[in-house]
């Protein structure tokens, strides 16, 4: 199995104090049904724990679900820690309740590749992940 | 590929990212994985503990509790947690990390989730090589948590030094236990959820059964330990039993289990080599061409393929 055709590995995590995991579970299931390996880590993770899991699992994508309002604090910490761990080419996607203005800042200055708000279809997310990962893998080859 | 040995060097030096990437390579298979496998030097003192049992028996919870305890004895731990792939999409949800929360952030623990890719037996095809990589990286104990296993999923015994079977109370009467299968390959048995009232009966039944099985005084006597994650009891005794089995093995290196493991390893190496060289042969392409014909008899085709292959001159 070569790099391009290997299953995409995705870490789905919920950073910080946030008990709402239905969205994350729906996404995990949809990504599995799209043929991806989804590592679901559960609730209440610190940015450090998320990055350590991403490193050990050698994932292509880190998906962060956050509905607590702490996204401007926690998401930049995750992306900074990813960079520091040498995982800068990990695709980072976020979902949950994130206002449009914040989403823009996260994407332009904090290394989040995409933010998916309520109403996004799982197909949109799958399509984005597939093309982003294909671009990273093509750049590595 | 020289990349294999450079990566192996980084792994031997304890580079966790190199190890993680190597595990991905191993899962994908192919020539790069093979080159890497050859460059990796596993450590002789590594002990592999296979944790198996029915779905929901408490494997992940027990693995976590046991790992936390073994860490207090100064040993480092690599965990391979295997979950099933979806037979429909090929994808997988690997959720064992949820219950391993308390191990997150410990640099003496490396956890890797693997999908079984439809393999039977409770383990993934790349498991043996993944164990090799974790051993080369220097982890003292490797805990292999299988897919929730049925009575006949005994493949874990082919790769683990010590098989820890997790049984939950009230899972069936004695007859279930007498049946051949998982129970026969168990080296240590843990009865989980032993805070429950019906756990005592299960413990007693299993202990009686184990005594029946081991009439031979030279053989290892399988300990049956009650454990409870809720009450936090029994973990020390269980860790003692598991580690004691490792010591017992070291003193009995020529036992039937070790021999069987070496045979299986040989078979596996042969399988890989044979399939690889077969797939490079023109007879393989011929077989692929006839494969899609209606009413193709796969078994006959396989036999024909082997006959044709034997007839072709082998390159050295």
- Contact: B91, A45; criterion CB under 8 Å: no
Q: How many Å apart are CA B21 and CA B26, to the nearest integer?
A: 9
**Domain A9-140 falls under CATH 3.30.2320.80:** no
- A–B interface: beta-carbon pairs under 8 A: 86
Range in A44-48, A73-77, A90-94 with the lowest mean pLDDT: A44-48
Q: How many Å apart are CA B142 and CA A126, to the nearest integer?
A: 34
B222: enclosing H helix or E strand? none
CB contacts under 8 A, B 8-67 vs A, are 16-17, 20-21, 23-24, 27-30
Residue B150, exposed/middle/buried by CB under 10 A (0-12, 13-18, 19+)? middle
- Contact: B105, A48; criterion CB under 8 Å: yes
CB contacts under 8 A, A 38-97 vs B, are 38-42, 44-46, 48-49, 52-53, 55-58, 85-87
Farthest-apart Cα atoms in chain B, separation: 68
State the pairing for strand pair A37-40/A9-13. parallel
The rounded radius of gyration (Å) of the Cα atoms in chain B is 21
Alpha-carbon distance A51 to nearest alpha carbon in chain B (angstroms)? 10
Q: pLDDT tens, A55-66? A: 999 999 999 999
Report chain A's mean pLDDT, rounded to a whole number: 93
Cβ pair B222, B207 in contact under 8 A: no
Domain boundaries, chain A: 9-140
Q: pLDDT digit of tens for each residue in chain B (316 aa)?
A: 446 788 899 999 999 999 999 999 998 887 888 889 889 999 989 999 999 888 888 888 999 999 999 999 999 999 999 888 877 788 888 888 888 888 888 889 999 999 887 665 556 668 888 999 999 999 999 999 988 766 556 678 788 899 999 988 876 655 555 555 677 788 999 999 999 888 888 888 888 888 776 655 567 889 999 999 888 899 999 999 999 999 998 888 777 767 777 787 788 778 777 887 888 888 888 888 888 888 888 898 889 888 988 888 766 5
The reply to whether the predicted model has a pTM over 0.90 is no
Report, as an integer, the average pLDDT of A29-57: 93
Q: How many Å apart are CA B37 and CA B21, to the nearest integer?
A: 13
Can you read off the two tokens belonging to residue B49? 């503990």
Helix, strand and coil in chain B, % to nearest 5: 50, 15, 35
Task: State CA B140 to chain mean position distance.
Answer: 16
Q: Which residues of B touch A34 (CB under 8 A)?
A: 89, 91
Cβ pair B61, B99 in contact under 8 A: yes
Can you read off the two tokens belonging to residue B72? 């207090």
């Amino acid at each position: 199995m070569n790099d391009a055709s290997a299953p995409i590995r995705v870490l789905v995590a919920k950073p910080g104090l946030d008990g709402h995991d239905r969205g994350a579970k729906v996404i995990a299931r949809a990504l599995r049904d799209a043929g991806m390996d989804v590592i679901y880590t559960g609730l209440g993770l610190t940015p450090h724990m998320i990055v350590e899991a991403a490193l050990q699992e050698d994932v292509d994508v880190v998906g962060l679900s956050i509905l607590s309002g702490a996204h401007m604090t926690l998401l930049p910490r995750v992306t900074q820690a990813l960079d520091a761990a040498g995982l800068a080419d990990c695709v980072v996607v976020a979902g949950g309740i994130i206002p449009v203005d914040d989403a823009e800042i996260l994407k332009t200055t904090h290394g989040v590749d995409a933010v998916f708000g309520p109403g996004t279809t799982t197909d949109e997310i799958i399509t984005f992940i597939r093309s982003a990962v294909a671009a990273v893998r093509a750049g590595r080859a | 590929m020289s990349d294999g040995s450079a990566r192996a060097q980084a792994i031997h030096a304890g580079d966790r990212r190199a190890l993680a990437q190597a595990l991905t390579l191993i899962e994908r298979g192919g020539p790069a994985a093979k080159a890497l496998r050859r460059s990796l030097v596993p450590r002789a003192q590594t002990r592999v503990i296979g944790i198996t049992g029915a779905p929901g028996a408490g494997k992940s919870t027990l693995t976590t509790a046991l790992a936390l305890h073994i860490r207090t004895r100064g040993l480092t731990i690599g965990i391979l947690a295997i979950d099933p792939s979806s037979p429909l999409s090929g994808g997988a949800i690997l959720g064992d990390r949820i219950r391993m929360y308390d191990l997150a952030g410990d640099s003496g623990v490396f956890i890797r989730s693997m999908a079984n890719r439809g393999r039977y037996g409770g383990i993934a095809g790349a498991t043996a090589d993944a164990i090799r990589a974790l051993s080369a990286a220097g982890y003292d104990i490797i805990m292999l948590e299988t897919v929730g296993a049925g009575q006949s999923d005994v493949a874990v015994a082919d790769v683990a030094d010590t098989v820890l079977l997790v049984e939950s109370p009230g899972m069936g009467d004695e007859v279930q236990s007498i049946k051949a299968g998982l129970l026969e390959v168990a080296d240590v048995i843990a009865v989980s959820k032993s805070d429950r009232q019906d756990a005592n009966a299960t413990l007693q039944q299993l202990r009686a059964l184990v005594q029946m099985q081991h009439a031979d005084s030279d053989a290892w006597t399988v300990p049956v330990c009650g454990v409870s994650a809720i009450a936090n009891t029994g973990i020390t005794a269980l860790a003692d039993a598991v580690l004691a089995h490792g010591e017992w093995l070291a003193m009995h290196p020529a036992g039937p289990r070790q021999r069987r493991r070496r045979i299986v390893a040989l078979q596996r190496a042969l399988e890989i080599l044979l399939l690889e060289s077969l797939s490079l042969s023109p007879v393989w392409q011929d077989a692929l061409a006839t494969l899609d014909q209606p009413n193709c008899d796969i078994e006959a085709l396989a036999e024909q393929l082997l006959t044709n292959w034997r007839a072709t001159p082998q390159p050295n």
